[in-house]
């Protein structure tokens, strides 16, 4: 979808509001037959656009919160894995089972889950190539821990630590919590992406977007008052940006 700076999107909304006020100032002489550029519908377009901008802020914050919660929840997952491994070694588990636990722990220790900060490009869009890698790492950690779950279940008769947090039921709860935190990020990320898509469509779709709608208003004013008239100049100087589609 097209993208431009956040300032550009907000300016389009602000200028649409200004354009509406100018049209109101024309009084009854502003009476277009085109439904979408009637003052009432322009106002609906304005309010919808404002809400779309707010939705982006809200969903972006929700995504940030979900990522922060996940980072906190996964903090120490490598150390906890080491403790589970030690508990397996300290049990009457077979050499083969201990070898399986060692393998699981190595995989967990090998995952990198540090999320680099997003960088902002010249057009205002944020990019971070490490996010997809980091996301996969969180998913992998959950998957590796699920292998612990299977292993500990198979060791029910010999893996019976007295430490509550290392008992199979507690480990399973820990795993479920990790998965819930990871899924919350996926959900929040999807909502944030959908907000951007809705904004881009609402703002910039051909004919119905803000710039094209504003142009239709200017054309109508030109038809009523004539090119170069004070009224036409008044609406012409209100500018709108339309980003290049990629």
Count the domains in the chain.
1
Per-residue pLDDT, 7: 81
In a domain, 117, yes or no: no
In a domain, 246, yes or no: no
Rounded distance, CA 31 to CA 35, Å? 10
Rounded distance, CA 174 to CA 83, Å? 13
Q: Write out pLDDT tens, residues 87-131.
A: 999 999 999 999 999 999 999 999 877 665 554 433 344 544 445
Per-residue pLDDT, 119: 42
- Calculate the average pLDDT of the chain: 91
In a domain, 122, yes or no: no
Closest alpha carbon to 188 in 55, 5, 2: 55
Per-residue pLDDT, 121: 36
214 to 134, 202, 224: CA distances (angstroms) = 42, 13, 15
65 to 1, 8, 51, 68: CA distances (angstroms) = 25, 26, 21, 5
Closest alpha carbon to 125 in 6, 243, 245, 8: 6
Per-residue pLDDT, 127: 44
Rounded distance, CA 30 to CA 22, Å? 10
In a domain, 71, yes or no: yes
Q: Write out pLDDT tens, residues 37-66.
A: 999 999 999 999 999 999 999 999 999 999
In a domain, 79, yes or no: yes
In a domain, 152, yes or no: yes
Closest alpha carbon to 126 in 193, 188, 203, 200: 193
Rounded distance, CA 197 to CA 3, Å? 10
Helices (H) and strands (E) in the chain, counts: 8, 2
**pLDDT class of 133 with cuts at 50, 70, 90:** low
Per-residue pLDDT, 123: 36
How far from the centroid of its chain's Cα atoms is residue 83's Cα?
Answer: 35
In a domain, 86, yes or no: yes
Parent domain of 14: 6-111+128-236
Q: Please check the confidence at residue 25 and state whether its pLDDT lies above 60.
A: yes
Q: Which tokens is 44 given?
A: 């609906």
Q: Write out pLDDT tens, residues 140-189.
A: 999 999 999 999 999 999 999 999 999 999 999 999 999 999 999 999 99
In a domain, 49, yes or no: yes
């Amino acid at each position: 979808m097209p993208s431009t700076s956040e300032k550009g999107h907000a300016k389009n909304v602000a200028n649409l509001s200004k354009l509406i006020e100018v049209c109101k100032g024309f009084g009854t002489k502003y009476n277009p037959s085109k439904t979408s550029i009637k003052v009432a519908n322009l106002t609906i377009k304005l309010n919808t656009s404002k809400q779309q901008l707010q939705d982006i802020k809200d969903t972006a914050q929700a995504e940030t919160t979900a990522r922060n919660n996940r980072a906190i929840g996964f903090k120490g997952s490598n150390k906890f894995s080491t403790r589970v491994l030690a508990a397996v070694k300290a049990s009457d588990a077979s050499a083969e089972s201990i070898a399986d636990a060692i393998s699981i722990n190595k995989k967990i220790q090998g995952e990198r889950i540090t999320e680099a900060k997003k960088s902002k490009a010249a057009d205002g869009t944020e990019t971070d190539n490490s996010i997809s890698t980091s996301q996969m790492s969180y998913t992998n950690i959950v998957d590796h821990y699920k292998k612990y779950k299977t292993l500990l279940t198979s060791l029910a008769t010999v893996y019976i630590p007295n430490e509550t947090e290392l008992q199979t039921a507690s480990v399973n709860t820990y795993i479920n919590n990790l998965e819930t935190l990871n899924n919350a990020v996926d959900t929040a990320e999807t909502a944030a992406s959908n907000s951007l898509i809705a904004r881009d469509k609402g703002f910039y779709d051909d004919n119905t977007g803000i710039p094209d709608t504003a142009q239709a208003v200017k054309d109508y004013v030109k038809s009523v008052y004539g090119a170069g008239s004070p009224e036409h100049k008044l609406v012409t100087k209100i500018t709108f940006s339309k980003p290049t589609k990629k």
